[in-house]
């Protein structure tokens, strides 16, 4: 879909929902501004999806994804793991992530960030990320660098893993993803 088709979907599902905090609305505005940029505005292959339950057994966003553009991670409940979790993406059509394994041996991972456990709080927390440009993996060649998000070669999978090595509890982490196919 084109930016003019995607932007109303983002604004309707994320940006204007009454339960969404200001940070989520700011993420929608930043993505909208990015999609109006010269390198993005004429593209016609954008997609948007919501992943309701992201855990260590990765959730495939799209096996045909070519670029990851932006994500908004939502922690909705007690993670059931230590004090926090890591969330991120893999350039893969499936993946199971174990954060206790050295990241240097998991070269298809990117966009990794730490999210906090809500513990007793009932207020969801949001973590936005936007990939203006980039290449997947720390050892990616300059030829794989893209000016329209993180370039992917296999597909896009989202995952989450507790900092203590245990998987987060079911239905605690949601992810809103903008990508290209």
pLDDT tens-digit series, residues 58-77: 889 999 999 999 999 999 88
Question: 56: Cβ–Cβ under 8 A, 6 or more apart, which residues?
Answer: 96, 97, 98, 159, 160, 161, 162, 167, 168
Mean pLDDT of the chain: 83
pLDDT at 86 over 80: yes
Q: How far apart are the first and last CA of the chain?
A: 10
Domain 47-180: give its CATH code.
2.60.120
Backbone angles phi, psi at 122, to 5 degrees: -110, 5
In the chain, what is the greatest distance between 2 CA atoms, to the nearest angstrom? 47
DSSP calls for 81-139: SSSEEEEEEESSSS-B--TTS-GGG-TTEEEEEEEE--TT--S-EEEEEE-SEEESSTT
* Euclidean distance between CA atoms 7 and 16, whole angstroms: 12
43-47, 73-77, 109-113: range with lowest mean pLDDT: 109-113
What letter would DSSP give residue 50? Answer: E
* Mean pLDDT of the 142-165 span: 81
Query: Is 181 within 8 Å of 61 (Cβ atoms)?
Result: no
* Euclidean distance between CA atoms 23 and 61, whole angstroms: 23
> Where along the chain do its domains lie?
47-180
Count of CB atoms situated within 10 Å of the CB of 110: 20
> What local confidence, expressed as pLDDT, does residue 78 receive?
80
């Amino acid at each position: 879909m084109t930016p003019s088709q995607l932007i109303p979907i983002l604004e309707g599902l994320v940006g204007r929902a009454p339960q969404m905090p200001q940070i989520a609305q700011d993420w929608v505005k930043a993505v909208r501004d990015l999609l109006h940029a010269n390198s993005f505005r004429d593209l016609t292959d954008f997609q948007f999806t919501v992943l309701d339950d992201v855990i260590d057994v990765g959730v495939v966003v799209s096996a045909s994804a070519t670029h990851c553009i932006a994500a908004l991670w939502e922690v909705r409940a007690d993670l059931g793991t230590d004090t926090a979790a890591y969330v991120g993406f893999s350039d893969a059509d499936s993946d199971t992530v174990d954060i206790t394994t050295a990241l240097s041996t998991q070269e298809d991972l990117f966009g990794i960030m730490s999210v906090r456990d809500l513990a007793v709080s009932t207020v969801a927390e949001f973590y936005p990320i936007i990939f203006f440009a980039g290449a997947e993996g720390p050892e990616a060649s300059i030829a794989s660098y893209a000016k329209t998000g993180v370039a992917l070669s296999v597909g896009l999978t989202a995952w989450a893993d507790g900092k203590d090595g245990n998987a987060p509890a079911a239905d605690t982490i949601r992810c809103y993803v903008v990508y290209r196919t």
